Chain A
Amino acid sequence: MHQPETNGNGTFNGAASGATKLAPANVATRCEKCRKMLFTRDLEKTQKICPECGYHFRLTAEERVESLVDDYGAFQWMDDDLRSADPLHFSSRNVAYAEKLDEARAKTGISESVIAGMGAIGTHRVSLAVMDFRFIGGSMGTVAGERLTRAIERGAEGRCPVIIFSASGGARMQESLFSLFQMAKTSAALTRLRTVQQPFISVLTDPTTGGVTASYAMLGDVIIAEPGALIGFAGPIVIEQSIHQKLPPDTDTSEFALAHGMIDMIVDRRSMKVTLTHLLKLYAGKR
């Protein structure tokens, strides 16, 4: 798995790395691509895009929603009450899954790997769901699956487009087959959206892999990716480890997915809202 040299919230921890007092924690952030030191304050102004090389840092799910909707304050959050029933009563290395969930909630401030609701993008009402990689690798368990399914159903019932931003390592192993079957559940839900002629716009962000790509994420009527994102089923690390195949450097990136016909376009984060608005206008044009 990707190992950023940061403290988990995308910021460079100066104190822990032995830097001087001139660079206290969270003031400076190192770009993971060009390695330049950046002022965290500057990064916040550019939607977390490196001003030097254009690298897209990961956004939290809340940052993502805020960057897209017309009125963040008016965004109607949905299904925030759902929690995993921990159907397997899972634990590993003497740590209960329930504890891991508590930790993830405390760390991220959100209740699961998917948050969702209803809002407007460029005045178009949409059902929006966003994944957060910080929450147990953005993994899809029963709660993520249910929230995504309900987001799709809100589109089908309310007759509005559905937009999902993915960021996920795949299945939630602690929910085993319940997790695997969320792939089938979300994919099935999309068939209902199809019958009401509403689009599903799937946006792939870094990283989108595993069971998420092998289900709803690759079933978008239009599929968009952010530049330089890891996108694939297995991902290059797993491929190299499992079959020792030497891979070209761009394997399983957004650019690779575009070149192989898997997605429609790559969109810079700063143009994401305008691009989505354009698309929503086109889909609204028929009625």
Chain B
Amino acid sequence: MSYDLDFEKPLAEIDRRIGGLRKRGDKARPEEVAALERELAGATADVYGRLTPWQRVQVARHKDRPYTSDYIRFLFPDFFEMRGDRRFGDDRAIIGGMATFAGRTVMVIGHQKGRDTKERMECNFGMAHPEGYRKALRLMQHAERFGFPVLTFIDTPGAFLNLAAEERGIAEAIAENLQVMAVLGVPIISTIIGEGGSGGALGIGVGDRILMLENSVYTVASPEAAASILWKSNDYAPQAAEAMKITAADLLELRLIDRIIREPLGGAHRDHRATAEALGAALSEELAQLVALPSGVLLDHRYSRLRAIGAPASVAV
């Protein structure tokens, strides 16, 4: 796998030298290759150890980053896909279905960006129309009926913004999900696996636990959009990314999320399987805690969490 992000240039250079040595075949000195590989690992750890928020946005959007379908493949081998909102259509930007996980049936729902051009077009790059949120709603209510915990995977630049989405009520579709998820009678764990973009992310993101992969981001508006509004130019996206506190570490410190899942060295895109295993282990631990709670306690906790977000200050008036 190549190193194609801007800040990976030093890594790409070492990688190129390793490639050059390897091309020499038998003449390649194994100890030279090994030394360079150690250098690469060290440099990768160094670069990834101090990513800026804007660099993390690049990693979160990486074309090779694992998507919901990849986690389904690794973590939910008996996944049964359920399609359609029973009202208008089947939105490929949000996929979902039932599967066995940690010894019980769960409902899996996640954004899907699409790997190749064809799939990206089908999935609309993970930007869902109203029918995507309404399919998610149908699946969540189905899960509640059968007592299946809900696991959602968030990875979207945002809900789709076009005439059709407005005509079919994209705002209402998201709003309805927020309300239903607040009181859904089964555990919900939401994980940001890549881009957590605004209302389009939150529309499947209300839960008892909010987890984030180490290099994912979660934000009210894309850094570009925020920059164009607050800095009057989207050239300031790096500054906006910094100021908006969108990284997993920042959001954990602000207590807006519960847990960070470490990614393999050099980012999730370098090792899908290892990322999936780490995610699976975290989900399994969190789920075990949540299913042990009586439904009333679960819902009280969920409501209290939502209610407490962003308590303002009080002044004398």
Which B residues are in CB contact (< 8 Å) with A211? 198-199, 220
Which B residues are in CB contact (< 8 Å) with A261? 169
**Contact pick for A191, options B182, B226, B230, CB 8 Å:** B182
Contact between A83 and B313 (Cβ–Cβ < 8 Å)? Answer: yes
Interface residues of A in 173-203 (CB under 8 A from B): 173-185, 187-191
Which B residues are in CB contact (< 8 Å) with A171? 198, 220-221
Which A residues are in CB contact (< 8 Å) with B162? 239, 243, 245
Q: Select the stretch in B9-17, B43-51, B240-248 that faces chain A.
A: B240-248
Nearest Cβ in chain B — how far from A81, in angstroms? 5
Closest chain A residue, CB of each to CB of B251: A177
Question: In the assembly, what is the distance between CA of A210 and CA of B256, in Å?
Answer: 21
Closest chain A residue, CB of each to CB of B255: A87
Contact between B310 and A190 (Cβ–Cβ < 8 Å)? Answer: no
Contact between A188 and B315 (Cβ–Cβ < 8 Å)? Answer: no
Count CB-based A-B contacts (< 8 Å). 195
Which A residues are in CB contact (< 8 Å) with B178? 183-184, 187-188, 214-215
Question: In the assembly, what is the distance between CA of A43 and CA of B41, in Å?
Answer: 71
Residue B312 CB within 8 A of the other chain: yes
Interface residues of A in 211-235 (CB under 8 A from B): 211, 213-219, 232-234
Contact between A173 and B163 (Cβ–Cβ < 8 Å)? Answer: no
Contact between B310 and A92 (Cβ–Cβ < 8 Å)? Answer: no
Closest chain B residue, CB of each to CB of A208: B171
Residue A84 CB within 8 A of the other chain: yes
Contact between B179 and A149 (Cβ–Cβ < 8 Å)? Answer: no
Number of B residues near A (Cβ < 8 Å) is: 56
Interface residues of A in 149-188 (CB under 8 A from B): 149, 171, 173-185, 187-188
Tell me whether A185 and B163 are in contact in the complex, defined as CB-CB below 8 angstroms, given that A88-B245, A177-B256 are known contacts: no
Interface size classification for chain A: 35 or more
Which B residues are in CB contact (< 8 Å) with A217? 171, 175
Nearest Cβ in chain B — how far from A101, in angstroms? 11
Contact between B243 and A183 (Cβ–Cβ < 8 Å)? Answer: no
Contact between A83 and B219 (Cβ–Cβ < 8 Å)? Answer: no
Closest chain A residue, CB of each to CB of B257: A177
Tell me whether A247 and B313 are in contact in the complex, defined as CB-CB below 8 angstroms, given that A177-B220, A179-B220, A214-B199 are known contacts: no
Residue A34 CB within 8 A of the other chain: no
Residue B80 CB within 8 A of the other chain: no
Nearest Cβ in chain B — how far from A250, in angstroms? 11
Q: Select the stretch in A49-57, A139-147, A271-279 that faces chain B.
A: A139-147
Interface residues of B in 300-317 (CB under 8 A from A): 303, 306-307, 309-317
Contact between A92 and B315 (Cβ–Cβ < 8 Å)? Answer: no
Residue A82 CB within 8 A of the other chain: yes
Residue A20 CB within 8 A of the other chain: no
**Contact pick for B163, options A84, A87, A178, A239, CB 8 Å:** A239
Interface residues of B in 265-317 (CB under 8 A from A): 303, 306-307, 309-317
Interface string of B161-186 (1 = CB under 8 A from A): 11101111111101110110111000
Which A residues are in CB contact (< 8 Å) with B230? 92-93, 173-174
Question: In the assembly, what is the distance between CA of A260 and CA of B247, in Å?
Answer: 38
Contact between A180 and B315 (Cβ–Cβ < 8 Å)? Answer: no
Residue A17 CB within 8 A of the other chain: no
Question: In the assembly, what is the distance between CA of A181 and CA of B309, in Å?
Answer: 7
Contact between A88 and B310 (Cβ–Cβ < 8 Å)? Answer: no
Which A residues are in CB contact (< 8 Å) with B313? 82-85
Residue B159 CB within 8 A of the other chain: yes
Tell me whether A214 and B171 are in contact in the complex, defined as CB-CB below 8 angstroms, given that A83-B315, A92-B231, A178-B310 are known contacts: yes
Residue A19 CB within 8 A of the other chain: no
Which A residues are in CB contact (< 8 Å) with B205? 184
Nearest Cβ in chain B — how far from A120, in angstroms? 23
Residue A262 CB within 8 A of the other chain: yes
Complex A-B, nearest 5 residue pairs according to Cβ-Cβ distance, in ascending order: A142-B310, A188-B182, A213-B171, A187-B178, A234-B161
Task: Using CB atoms and an 8 Å cutoff, list the residues of chain A in contact with chain B.
Answer: 80-85, 87-88, 90-93, 111, 141-143, 145-146, 149, 171, 173-185, 187-191, 210-211, 213-219, 232-234, 238-239, 242-243, 245, 247-248, 251-252, 256, 260-262
